[in-house]
């Protein structure tokens, strides 16, 4: 499993285009959105802080799903078939992919926060910056398995597009583009069962000082467990075809 993680990271490190798009895209969105909404604020936060947290959450989501859906390319190349011939168990395969997604998500999240500090002038105590990273980074876990599920469930050449079709609506409904309060009433209820909403909300709590919400951790854990079980089942189904 460790060997697979190291190999995957080496492959991704050589893919400059993938890194530039997936890691740089959320930073561009943060800079644009914080300018568009100007001096507005919501939830007790000014817009630069609000959008910084939202786009850090978006970075965690988009990068994790993009890393997971790369399995579609691996299926086309026959790499997955080779892995299924090794002693690597299904849970080890899933765990390795999630570790890779998490490793990719961290620099994307940190880069958004750096843009907030250096470009937008967001000033926070050092402990609060670390608290934001600690609140945001674990939220990438469910999306690592969601991306992997997409890569295994759809046709290999459609995996990347399907990933985009999943994470953009989840980001919008989760309140990452606009505050959840601005959405229609039925969408507000839907938002609170999505990990994208709680990923950003848990980070905002670090800034606003609002009470911790254990429901958010429960929602994200439920997505991780349910989708993770589905991924293991999909991987075993493919292994049975050999």
Q: How many domains does the chain have?
A: 1
Q: Indicate the DSSP class of residue 152.
A: H
Sign of the four-CA dihedral 172, 125, 144, 222: negative
CA 108 to CA 26: how far, in whole Å? 8
Q: What is the CA radius of gyration of the chain?
A: 18
Positive or negative, the Cα torsion across 102, 131, 19, 49? positive
Query: pLDDT value at position 114?
Result: 93
Tens-place pLDDT, residues 64-118: 998 888 888 887 777 777 877 788 887 888 888 889 999 999 999 999 999 999 9
What's the domain range around 95?
Answer: 2-239
Helix (H) or strand (E) holding 56: helix 47-69
pTM for this model (two decimals): 0.86
For the CA atoms of 76, 141, 27, 190, the dihedral, rounded to the nearest 10 degrees, stands at 100
Taking alpha carbons only, the member of 126, 136, 100 closest to residue 26 is 136
Question: What is the distance between the alpha carbons of residues 238 and 67, in angstroms, rounded to a whole number?
Answer: 20
C-alpha distances out from residue 37 to 22, 65, 205, Å:
24, 27, 21
Q: Residues of the chain whose pLDDT is less than 50? A: none
pLDDT recorded at residue 242: 55
CA–CA gap between residue 169 and residue 167 (Å, rounded): 6
Reference 52, options 125, 101, 111; nearest CA is 111
Model pLDDT, residue 57: 92
């Amino acid at each position: 499993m460790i060997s697979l993680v190291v190999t995957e990271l080496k492959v991704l490190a050589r893919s400059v285009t993938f890194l530039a798009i997936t890691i740089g895209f959320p930073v561009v969105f943060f800079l644009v959105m914080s300018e568009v909404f100007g001096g507005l604020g919501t939830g007790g936060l000014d817009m630069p802080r609000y959008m910084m947290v939202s786009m850090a959450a978006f970075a965690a989501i988009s990068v994790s799903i993009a890393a997971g859906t790369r399995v579609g390319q691996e299926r086309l190349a026959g790499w997955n078939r080779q892995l299924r011939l090794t002693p690597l168990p299904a849970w080890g395969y899933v765990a390795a992919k999630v570790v890779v997604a998490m490793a990719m998500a961290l620099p994307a999240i940190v880069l958004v926060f750096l843009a907030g500090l250096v470009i937008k002038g967001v000033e926070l105590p050092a402990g609060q910056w670390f608290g934001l990273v600690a609140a945001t980074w674990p939220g990438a876990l469910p999306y690592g398995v969601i991306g992997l599920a997409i890569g295994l469930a759809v046709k290999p050449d459609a995996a990347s597009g399907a990933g985009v079709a999943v994470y953009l609506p989840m980001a919008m409904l989760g309140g990452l583009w606009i505050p959840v309060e601005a959405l229609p009433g039925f969408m507000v209820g839907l938002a609170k069962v999505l990990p994208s909403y709680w990923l950003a909300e848990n980070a905002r709590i670090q800034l606003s000082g609002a009470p911790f919400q254990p429901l958010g951790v429960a929602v994200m854990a439920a997505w991780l467990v349910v989708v993770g079980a589905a991924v293991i089942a999909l991987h075993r189904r493919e292994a049975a075809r050999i």
